Amino acid sequence: MIPTKEDCLKLMTQCGMLGNIMDHSLEVARVALFLSTELNRRGQNLDLSLVEAAALLHDLTKTECLRTKEDHAFTGSKLLKEMGYERIGKVVAEHIRLSKVIDPFRISEEEVVNYADKRVKHDRIVSLEERFQDLKERYGHSPRALESLDGLKEETFKIEQKIFSLLDFDPDHLRERLPENP
Ligand SMILES: [Fe+2]
């Protein structure tokens, strides 16, 4: 079961999502949907409705978690699964860190949403280098946190390589290739 874009936007409002997180989510959805469409043209089989809904809802509980300090990938996933959105919950659970089970022959909805989130800083498309620099400044307050972010950066570059090995443009050209908002 996948909610429509309208239903997702309603849900985001109901959860009291901050405006900046709303703008970020809309841009992540635009990137994720574009990449998925391009990947499907090249033989992948991504569920576009799932990608769009999961990208819109990936930070559903983040506003609340800023206060409670909970893990928003976990609480967001749990809430969505409780609402009956099992598959979206699974994608949201992996939007920060992917599980280790990666199929080398198929790009998953989890990988696309995870990657799109790493290319959007606030509501702007940036390189992975710039996004991880920003993440380090915001969250890299200890040697352990910095090490963890370095590991995550390395994993994300692998996903980037996997996605773009199938596409006819480079990661640097994502911004120009993305269609304008209707
Ligand atoms: Fe997030």
Task: Give the C-alpha separation, 30 to 82, whole Å.
Answer: 26
Instruction: Flag whether pLDDT at 119 surpasses 90.
Output: yes
Least-confidence region, from 40-44, 45-49, 102-106, 139-143: 102-106
Instruction: For the chain, give every domain's residue range.
Output: 5-170
Q: Share the mean pLDDT of the chain.
A: 95
> Is the distance from CB of 9 to CB of 26 less than 8 angstroms?
no
What residues are neighbours of ligand 1 (ion), with CB under 5 Å?
59
Instruction: Flag whether pLDDT at 181 surpasses 80.
Output: no
C-alpha 167 to ligand 1 mean position (Å): 26
C-alpha 80 to ligand 1 mean position (Å): 14
Instruction: Flag whether pLDDT at 182 surpasses 80.
Output: no
Instruction: Flag whether pLDDT at 179 surpasses 90.
Output: no
Q: Cα-Cα-Cα-Cα dihedral of 172, 90, 78, 126, to 10°? A: 0
Q: Which CATH number fits domain 5-170: 1.10.10, 1.10.3210, 3.30.310, 1.20.120?
A: 1.10.3210
C-alpha 25 to ligand 1 mean position (Å): 9
Q: What percent of the chain has pLDDT over 70?
A: 99
What does the radius of gyration of the chain's CA atoms come to, in whole angstroms?
15
C-alpha 97 to ligand 1 mean position (Å): 10
pTM: 0.96
- pLDDT category at 81 given cuts 50, 70, 90 is very high
C-alpha 64 to ligand 1 mean position (Å): 12
Task: Give the C-alpha separation, 62 to 13, whole Å.
Answer: 13
C-alpha 61 to ligand 1 mean position (Å): 9
